[in-house]
Amino acid sequence: MALKPQSLSASGRGRIGTSLSEINVTPFIDVMLVLLVIFMVTAPMMQSGIGVNLPQAETQSAPAEEGLTITISKDRLIHVEGSVININLLENRLKGYFADKPKKIVFIQADEGIDYGFFIDTLDIIKKAGVEAVGLVTEPIELKSSSRKK
C-alpha cells in the first residue's frame, strides 16, 4: 500500500491517508506456484492399480490394446474397467461391453494366490458371454525375482 500525503487542511493539521492504486499479486503468484508444485509431486502417487501378484512364466505376455482386461485379486474381487463387479453380474456386463465390438477378446490378470476353482468359474462365465479369445497375463521370471529382492 502506498502512503499519500494529503494537503494541509484549514485547521493546519496534516492528514496522512492511504490510497490503494494497484493490487500486489506477488503473494498470489507465490501461493499458486506452491500449489502447482504440490500437485506435480502428488499426482503420480495418486495413480494406483490393483495389487495383484501375477504368476511367473518364462515367456512374457501382456494384454493387447484392443481387448478388455479383467483383474481377479487375491480376495476374489473381479475388477472390470476400474470397478469391482460381482461374479453373478459379470456375464451381463461382458455382453453389454462386447455388443457392438467385432472382436471379443478378454485378458485375465489373476493373482497367483486365488484358488483354481474360482478361476475356472470366472473363465466359464467369460466364455458364456460369447468371448472368442481369452488371454492370460503373466509376469516374466526375471522381473518377478528382481522385484521381490527389493
Report yes or no on 104 lying in a domain: yes
Write out the residue range of the structural domain in which residue 61 sits: 56-149
Could you give phi then psi for residue 139, rounded to 5 degrees?
Answer: -120, 135
At 55 the three-state DSSP class reads coil
Q: Are 104 and 130 part of one and the same domain?
A: yes
| CATH code, 85 | 3.30.420.270
pLDDT in tens, 65-92: 678 889 998 888 999 988 899 989 999 9
And the C-alpha cell for 102? 467385432
Number of domains within the chain: 2
Query: What value does the mean pLDDT of the chain take?
Result: 79
- pTM comes to 0.56
pLDDT in tens, 4-16: 555 555 555 555 6
Q: What is the CA radius of gyration of the chain?
A: 31
Residues of the chain above pLDDT 70, percent = 67
What is each CA distance from 24 to 2, 5, 29, 35, 102, in whole angstroms? 11, 21, 10, 19, 60
Question: Which pLDDT score is estimated for 100?
Answer: 87
Q: Is the pLDDT of residue 18 over 90?
A: no
Q: Are 66 and 29 part of one and the same domain?
A: no
Q: Are 80 and 34 part of one and the same domain?
A: no
Beta-strand (E) ranges in the chain?
A: 2-5, 16-19, 56-57, 68-72, 78-80, 83-85, 105-110, 133-136, 139-140
Look up cell 502417487; give the residue: 45
Report yes or no on 51 lying in a domain: no
